Amino acid sequence: MDTTARVIAVVAAIIEDTDRFLLTRRQAGVHLAGLWEFPGGKIDPGETPTGALQRELREELDVEVEPGEPLFNTRHAYPDRTVELTFYRCTLRGNPRPLLGQEMRWVPRSELASLGFPPADTELIALLTREEDR
């Protein structure tokens, strides 16, 4: 299978509150099931990255977010696809509640490195945990 042609644009929200981050766990039956992630998803055709982020957070967690500037961008090749992933720092409007049956947690910065994240998130986790040292 030719994986070079399949590039998926994805956005994710970095939502921080008192040195804790909002994370969700990927559900069974999806790519990278069981791993923790920053909530977000694919950008649909004709959608802006921030519009996609706002839509995904409404659909997944029943909240509004105000996206800030992009914090981190990366490209990662998995065996079956390549993702172009942009992480935005976001301000949360409301109380998140998982609408799709996914697990959700507020995770302290000091525990981020101990959780299982997709390989595409490795550099971001390193960046966020280095922020703890400042």
DSSP string, 96-111: ---SSS--EEEEEGGG
Q: Which domains does the chain have, with CATH numbers?
A: 7-131 (3.90.79.10)
Contact 63, 55 (CB under 8 A): no
Whole-angstrom distance, CA of residue 60 vs CA of residue 62: 6
Q: Which residues of the chain have pLDDT under 50?
A: 1-3, 134
Whole-angstrom distance, CA of residue 67 vs CA of residue 92: 9
pLDDT of residue 134: 45
Whole-angstrom distance, CA of residue 101 vs CA of residue 30: 13
Number of H helices, E strands in the chain: 2, 8
User: What rounded mean pLDDT belongs to the chain?
Assistant: 91
What does the pLDDT look like over 7-30, one tens digit per residue? 999 999 999 999 999 999 998 887
